[in-house]
Every structure is written in C-alpha cells, then in structure tokens.
C-alpha cells in the first residue's frame, strides 16, 4: 500500500535529480523530461535486464532502518517470508516466457544498503528465446512483482480500491530498450514526478501482510522518503529540495 508526499521544488527538476543522485547514489536512476513536466527516479531496484537471451530481475522486499543491524533483516520471519513470496511470483512471471527449466535464483536474501534503510534483495534469472520480443516479456512481468504482491491480479484490484491516488509513474518502470543492446528497466520507486508549475509528488509505500505492524509500516515509509524529501533524517543544504506534506 502506498501514500504520497506532495509539495514544491526549489530549483529545476534536473537540479533536484543531480543533487539527489549525488546524495543517494541510486543504482537504477533515470531522468525523463518533456513539455508535460519531468520524472526524477532515484531507484535502487532492477525490474528487468535483458542481454541476448538472458533475463534478470532483482526484486527488493524487506526493509529495516539503517540504525538496525543488517543481520536483523534475515532474522525476521516476516521480511524473509515477504521476499521469498515475491521471488516465487517473479519466477512464475518469467516462467511464462522462459525456456523450460532455465529459471534460477542465483541470489537469495542478500542484505544491501540503500539511503536510510537496509533492503533484502534476491535475483531471479532466466533464458528466453532470442526471437521473443520485449513486449512479450513486459506482458508477462509487468507491473513489477515487488510493488503489487501476490496474487498479482487480486492485489491490483485491491490497490485500485484502497489507494486514494493513482500511482502514475511510481511503481512502474523507467529505463531503456534497444534491439541491439537489450534492455535495462528499473522499478520506479524513490521517484518524484514534477509538473510544469514546479509541483512535485513522491510516492512511498510498503508491503502489507498478516504479520504487519501499522506503526512499523508507516515508519518504513518515512525512512524511505527521508533522504529525498528533506525530512529530519536528510541533509537540508541542497540546491533543490522537496518541501513536502503527506497527502
């Protein structure tokens, strides 16, 4: 489930992106601009990478604040269960287009740092026929499993009922695709959308399960947002900062 931080930006969207990139060092960043506004994605998550016939996805599921010991992530039955559940969903998604028997999990439950938080990351790999178009791969895997939950169709139906705002680009994907180079697509989390008037929206959220604690889930949202919106955990001396309020 997701909520939004909304506000205005001092400086241009590109300044915001450059400063955010410098502060958070995202591994899957992207910036897109047009007459409609701009998108600054400071994402740490890989949705899909394709090189030839090899397809890789690295879902993030499981989060704790950086002041917690990283070992606590793998010791948490809730966080581990969430990650494995999403790994199974990604395996199923890729299996719809993969060569039979080629879906593997080369990394499972790896703890990695991100701005403000520790994340639990796994990697799923598969081989697809070379002639398989990217459109078929996207049809099979989109939207990213880590931002819907499972079963994916029912989860999407509930999200549309319960969330007050459309997600927009948030929880979608930004990246590049080429018939020669393949594709590299992120999961558009830690992503700010700008309109032409300087208004900005940042979506944040977390996975809800039967074991979820509401206060802990809200704290997780704040930890994820803080490095971007300039909350107390973030540096405020920046050329472009989102002055935010929660919707």
Residues marked as catalytic: 45, 61
C-alpha to C-alpha distance for 185 and 177, rounded to whole angstroms: 8
User: Cα(136)–Cα(97) distance, rounded to whole angstroms?
Assistant: 7
Token reading at 118: 């520790």
What angle do the packed helices 134-141 and 77-95 form, to 10 degrees? 140
DSSP H stretches of helix in the chain: 13-24, 71-75, 77-95, 134-141, 152-162, 214-229
Alpha-carbon gap, residue 83 to 141, rounded angstroms: 17
* Cα separation, 148 vs 189, whole angstroms: 12
Q: What is the DSSP letter of 140?
A: H
Q: Helix, strand or coil for residue 213?
A: coil
């Amino acid at each position: 489930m997701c909520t939004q931080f909304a506000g205005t930006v001092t400086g241009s969207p590109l300044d915001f992106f450059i400063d955010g990139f410098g502060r958070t060092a995202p591994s899957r960043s992207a910036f897109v601009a047009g007459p409609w506004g701009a998108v600054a994605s400071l994402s740490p998550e890989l949705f899909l990478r394709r090189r030839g016939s090899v397809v890789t996805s690295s879902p993030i599921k499981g989060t704790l604040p950086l002041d917690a010991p990283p070992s606590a992530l793998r010791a948490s039955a809730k966080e581990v269960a969430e990650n494995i559940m999403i790994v199974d969903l990604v395996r199923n998604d890729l299996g719809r287009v993969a060569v039979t028997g080629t879906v593997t999990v080369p990394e499972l439950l790896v703890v990695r740092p991100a701005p403000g938080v520790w994340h639990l990351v796994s990697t799923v790999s598969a081989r697809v026929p070379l002639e398989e178009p990217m459109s078929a791969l996207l049809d099979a895997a989109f939207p990213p499993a880590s931002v819907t939950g499972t079963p994916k169709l029912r989860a999407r139906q509930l999200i549309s009922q319960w969330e007050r705002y459309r997600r927009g680009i948030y929880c979608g994907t930004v990246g590049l695709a080429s018939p020669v180079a393949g594709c590299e697509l992120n999961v558009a989390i830690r992503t700010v959308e700008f309109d032409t008037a300087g208004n900005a929206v940042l979506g944040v959220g977390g996975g809800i399960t039967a074991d979820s604690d509401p206060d802990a889930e809200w704290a997780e949202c704040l930890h994820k947002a803080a490095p971007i919106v300039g909350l107390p955990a973030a540096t405020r001396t920046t050329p472009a900062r989102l002055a935010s309020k929660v919707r």
